[in-house]
Amino acid sequence: MFAYYLQLGLRSLRRNPMLTALMVMAIGFGVSASMITYSVFRAVSGNPIPEKSSQLFVPQIDSWGPGLNEKGEPPGALNYVDAMALMRAHQSSRMTLIYQIVLSTLPRDADSVPVSSTGYAVTADFFTMFDVPFAYGAGWSNADDDARAGDVVLSQEFNQRLFGGANSVGQKITLSGHDYRIVGVTKHWNPAPRFYDAWGGSGFGNPPDFYLALNRALDLKIDNAGRNSCRGAITYNGWDQYLQSNCIWLMPWVELDTSSDVERYHRFLESYSADQQHAGRFGWAPNVRLPDVMKWLDVEKIVPPESRISLIVALSFFVICLVNTIGLLLAKFMRRAGEIGVRRALGATRHEIYAQYLVEAAAVGLAGGFIGLLLTAVGMSGVGVLFAPDIARLAHLDFSLIGLTLALAIFATVAAAFYPAWRAAQVQPAWQLKSN
Amino acid sequence: MLKMTHLSKVYRTEVVETYALRDFNIDVKEGEFVAVTGPSGSGKTTFLTIAGLLETFTGGEYLLDGQSVSNLDDNARSRIRNEKIGFIFQAFNLIPDLNVFDNVEVPLRYRGMKAPERKERIMNALERVGLASRARHYPAELSGGQQQRVAIARALAGSPRLLLADEPTGNLDTQMARGVLELLEEIHREGATIVMVTHDPELAARAQRNVHIIDGQVVDLAEDPRFHTAYTAAAGQIRG
Amino acid sequence: MQIQPILAALRRHKAGTILIALQIALTLAIVCNALFIIHQRLVHISEPSGVDEANLFVIGNQWGEQYSTQEAAERIQQDVATLRQVPGVQDVTTANNYPIRGISDDNFITMTPEQRAPTSDAAFYMGDDNFVRTLGLKLIAGRDFRPEEVQNEGLRQTVVPSVAIISKAMADKLFPHGDALGKHFYAMTPNPITVIGIVDVLHRGDVGTWSAPYVGESMVVPTRPAEPYGLYYIVRAKPGQLAAAMREAPKALYAENRMRMIDPKDGLLSYAEIRRRAFESDRGMAILMSVICVVLLAITAAGIVGLTSFWVGQRRRQIGVRRALGATHRDILNYFMTENLLISLGGIVIGVLLTFGLNLWLVTHFDALKLLPLTYVLGGIALLLLLGQGAVFAPALRASRVPPVEATRPA
């Protein structure tokens, strides 16, 4: 029966080529606009570390107090004093501190000029907490951190540029005039959004070049090249005073495995803040937060508003296209009221009429889906016009998107056809083709 | 009232020319009730559409109410249809989207009449056909006879001098047909000119005069009762 | 003309009427908001930076070695001297940032040291005594920096400036009575800063929406960024020699001292390129919204043509009857045009509600957006009425050509 309905549907679609083309184009445009914007939205709003996102948390401590904090919320990073206190407390199974640095690399031939390289100063747990994949070697140990060792892990891309992709573990590398020991080389790893630097960066960008042992970086007074935020009158003068200031710039992450661990850590943050209050360092009651990865990305508004607005506009556009399709399908089906009457008289049940028209709509949807797929593919190349290059390159047409495009087109068109098909099925049986 | 002389109507297709009417002559006097009869395809309906200015003709002359209509533009023809002619169609041709009142109102709207006058005329017309109580009903809620009476009311509302009826009872059963015919006769008695196309001899017999059309030409039978009888027999055969 | 019977007829075609009205309503809502977004973005894109964009370029200079404050300051002096020798270069200044770069250094501004809620969050530029002249800023009151006022700032040092040149927007915010010159304010500093000069326009470094309350509020302090990280050289070329100066300047710098890094992608930018990059997403948004508007209007128009054509086809017979009953061509044309007008008006009533609803929703969810001005809604209404009338014209014309004889055709 399905084949018969399909045959009837296709014949009917051929009979009004303009009307059919109009519907197919409307569905195609609507579906492709939605898919293009969705592909970007999917890329920017996705979970960058799905297997662990609910075990990784940002400990937030209000070190600024009422009137200076973020409208009552604690700031998004830690100052040096609080960061080091949390590190020393060892209240979580793992913890890391992160700040962004920019260093120079001097290629080994003498005439060349130095090249800027960007990376993060991190502590040992960074690699295990975030499941960083390694091509060669591994991260350094907590003991290395305690020994303030000059260890560095290179990214695959940086290792490719400097060592042609060879195993460089054990070699020395000079960055901004200081020597470091390479202990590991990662495989390609660039979570999008870059959740661990969501406070400091845009969340999207090229993978970093290296990860450097944080204690050594601090010893060498390597300045923070990322975000820095201070409150009140700035009176520090020099690096050591800067470390004692209220400026926040160190990004903390902790790993907590169970909900009781989370509760316990939250209590710890409160008691730490209370201690600071008693010691007179904080003049306010404890104000702490402990968001996990997805909550943190939400707090940091990592999804660009452009992406959200364009998705909403595109979806509304699709809805209008569907309203358009409902109207046109209604016109198309009801024009054949006479034919329906005769079919009913010849024994077709309501149900069969219904099915026949839904199949016809599905055919329209499928055609619309293919047009939509074509337009989506074209539109993907134009995404760069809409979004910053960092974000635009995240959008791509993969199998799941192709499947989704076709499924959405067919599903939406069939849904749009319900009312017109229902109207068609209401036509009374009649012996003659009577026009009204 | 209606005078056609040497009138012809040619339908042209790419290959052939078909004469629907040729050297067609008819003269309907004011106040007459004329029945036009003829076999299928004889040109009855063509005659009626030309008489009603629904179509133009190819040659000859047509005087309606003493006025030549050959050179009138579309707007002028619309105006004459609206003011002088009332139509009654076989299929009633009520507008299904409009209720009885609004249907009767259609020609009055096009005449640009003021609302109070329109309302008075509509209610008078509906009372004449006995459907004043159904003014708010839609055509689909009425029987065939009632629908045709609404159509007649619509034709009457504009007080036309000429009433053109195309098989007005063709879609009705005998009893309803009789009612409609009595209504037409009543209207005729009040002074309207009526031209009615029919292939029903019984109906034709009730008109003052019969005009028979065969192959697009008029064969006037009214003056000769012998022909009339012969025609009735012939028509009977055709219908049988 | 015959509004009441048209309405009566439409009541018998509820589904089609509602669908067209709904489509017009939704289209109005989307188009009004999209046009407004486009307008806002275009206004944003065309914001003046206050600098002589045609002749300026910026060199992002990072040091290849870690210098002390003193070393860095000496290198900078040398670099500036070198750049001045480059043919085509008219002026050079040092800075920590430049207008419309995309990122601001910003300092909370208070009128007293005790004040907690800041009066402004001004963009913070470190410039030398060439800053105002090189950028081509218009000094409208007071004076420029003197060479002896310029201090070097090293790694996490806080050089407390005692004087500043501020933008007129900032002056107006801080001192609404127009008497900013010579007055004091605090910029997270322990001591007051005196306003010694006011420039007409000086855009912030950032172009984001968070700083909308502080738009155009910028301050310059006489400081040279002698930090280990590096700094920006803002270079003004002689008229017409920008390209040549941009080509030669980095070569000259490397020739003088190769231990520096000028990023191949972002290290050397003309102001035209800076402006392009700064407003990339705004332009993209404007383009997306324009495309959606155009396609949307086209689809809505096509939908109206489609449905009206269907209606005309469905009503050929009754059009014939109307013609037989005396309707002229124009009567029939008017009938369909009026019918569309009524449906459009219905759609517009719903659409105006939807428009403001969508706008309110957008405003509450995205700081970027503002409340829709009424002119946009009126414009949108006019656009959609025209669109509807335009779309319905062809099918209505076809309807008016239905011959009256259609009434007599057998059913």
Examine the pLDDT at C258 and tell me if it is beyond 90: no
Dist CA A368 CA A375 (whole Å): 10
| pLDDT-based confidence at residue B41 (cuts at 50, 70, 90) | confident
Provide the shortest C-alpha distance from residue C349 to chain B (in Å).
25
Which of B:89-128 have CB within 8 Å of C? 89, 91, 93, 95-99, 102, 105-107, 109-111
The CA-atom distances, in angstroms, between C263 and each of A212, C63, C363 are 22, 11, 39
pLDDT band at A281 (very low <50, low <70, confident <90, very high): very high
> Among all residues of chain C, which has the CA nearest to that of B107?
C325
Give B52's contacts in chain C (Cβ within 8 Å). 324
Q: pLDDT, tens digit, for every residue of C260-274?
A: 999 888 899 999 999
C103 has a chain A CB within 8 A of its CB: no
Max mean pLDDT range (A66-75, A240-249, B215-224)? A240-249
Is the torsion defined by CA of A291, A293, A298, A299 positive or negative? Answer: positive
- Map tokens 């470390």 to a residue: A243
Give the whole-angstrom CA distance, residue A118 versus residue A178: 15
Tell me if B97 and C13 make a contact (CB, 8 A cut-off). Answer: yes
Mutate to test the interface with A, among C37, C66, C156, C281 (most CBs of A within 10 A): C156
Q: Which residues contact A262 (CB under 8 A, 6 or more apart)?
A: A57, A256, A290
Backbone φ/ψ region at B46: left (φ over 0), alpha (ψ -120 to 50), beta: alpha
CA distance C253 to C235: 13
Q: Hey, which residues 223-262 in chain C have their CB within 8 Å of chain A?
A: 227-229, 254, 258-261
Q: Name the residue among B48, B74, B97 with its Cβ closest to that of C328.
A: B74
**Confidence grade of residue B237 (pLDDT, cut at 50, 70, 90):** very low
pLDDT at B239 over 70: no
Task: Kindly report, residue by residue over C100-141, the tens digit of the pLDDT.
Answer: 998 888 999 999 988 888 999 999 999 999 999 999 999 999
Q: What is the mean pLDDT of chain C?
A: 90
Sheet bearing B67-68, strands edge to edge: B17-28, B2-12, B59-64, B67-68
Nearest residue in chain C measured CA to CA from A227: C105
List of chains touching A (3+ CB pairs within 8 A): C
Q: Least CB-CB distance to B111: which of C12, C323, C326?
A: C326
Average pLDDT for residues A396-406, to the nearest whole number?
Answer: 87
Residues of B in contact with C317 (CB under 8 A): 93
CB contact under 8 A, A238 and C296: no
Disruptive mutation site among C6, C316, C317, C321 for chain B (greatest number of B CBs within 10 Å): C321
Predicted pLDDT at C173: 95
- Distance (Å, whole) CA A77 – CA A248: 6
Output the six-digit token pair for A201.
């960066």
Written as one string, the DSSP assignment of C14-58 is: HHHHHHHHHHHHHHHHHHHHHHHHHHHHHHHHT---SS-GGGEEE
- pLDDT level of residue A301 (50, 70, 90 thresholds): confident
Least CB-CB distance to B87: which of C2, C5, C325? Answer: C325
Could you read off the pLDDT of C192-225 as tens digits, one per residue? 999 999 999 999 999 887 888 899 999 999 999 9
Inter-chain touch C326–B49, beta carbons under 8 Å? no
Say which residue the tokens 């920008």 belong to: C242
Minimal-distance CA residue of chain C relative to B166: C408
Q: Which helix (H) or strand (E) holds A203?
A: none
What whole-number distance in Å separates Cα of residue B25 and Cα of residue B7?
Answer: 7
Chains with 3+ CB–CB pairs under 8 A to C are: A, B
Q: Give the orientation angle of helix C374-400 with respect to helix C14-45, to 10 degrees.
A: 140
C182 has a chain A CB within 8 A of its CB: no
Chain length of chain C: 411
- d(C-alpha B80, C-alpha B65), whole Å: 10
Q: How far apart are CA C190 and CA C110, in angstroms?
A: 11
Instruction: Indicate yes or no: CB of A319 within 8 angstroms of CB of C26.
Output: yes
B154 interface with C at CB cutoff 8 Å: yes
In chain C, residues with a C-beta closer than 8 Å to the C-beta of B97 are 8-9, 12-13, 318
pLDDT tens digit sequence for B187-200: 898 888 999 998 88
- DSSP 8-state assignment for residue A237: -
Q: How far is B223 from chain C (nearest CA, A)?
A: 30
The yes-or-no verdict on residue A434 having pLDDT over 50 is no
User: Cβ–Cβ of A320/C30 closer than 8 Å?
Assistant: yes
Q: B85 φ, ψ to 5°? A: -120, 140
Q: Is residue B58 predicted with pLDDT exceeding 60?
A: yes
* Gap between the Cα atoms of A329 and A335, Å rounded: 10
Predicted pLDDT of residue A433: 41
Nearest-CA residue of chain B relative to C402? B54
Return the SS3 of B11: strand
User: Prior bond to A193 cis, omega within 30?
Assistant: yes
Tell me, yes or no, if C22 comes closer than 8 A to chain A by beta carbon. yes
pLDDT digits (tens, 9 = 90+) for C4-37: 778 878 887 888 889 899 999 999 999 999 998 8
Helix (H) or strand (E) holding B129: none
CA–CA distance, C379 with C206 (Å, rounded to integer): 32
Q: What is the DSSP string of A37-102?
A: HHHHHHHHHS-SSTTTTTTEE--EE--S-TTTSBTTBPPSSB-HHHHHHHHHH--SSEEEEEEEEE
| Structure tokens, C167 | 């933008």
Residue in B97, B102, B110 nearest the CB of C325? B110
pLDDT of A3-58, one tens digit each? Answer: 777 777 777 777 778 888 888 999 999 999 899 889 888 888 889 999 999 999 99
% of chain C exceeding 90 in pLDDT: 60
Total beta-carbon pairs less than 8 A apart between chain A and chain C:
177
Task: Supply C299's token pair.
Answer: 């689809």
Give the nearest chain C residue to B56 (CA atoms): C405
Residues of C with CB under 8 A from a CB of B: 2, 5, 8-9, 12-13, 317-318, 320-331, 403-405, 407-408, 410-411
Beta strands per DSSP E along C160-239: 163-167, 184-185, 193-199, 218-225, 230-237
C15 contact A CB<8A: yes
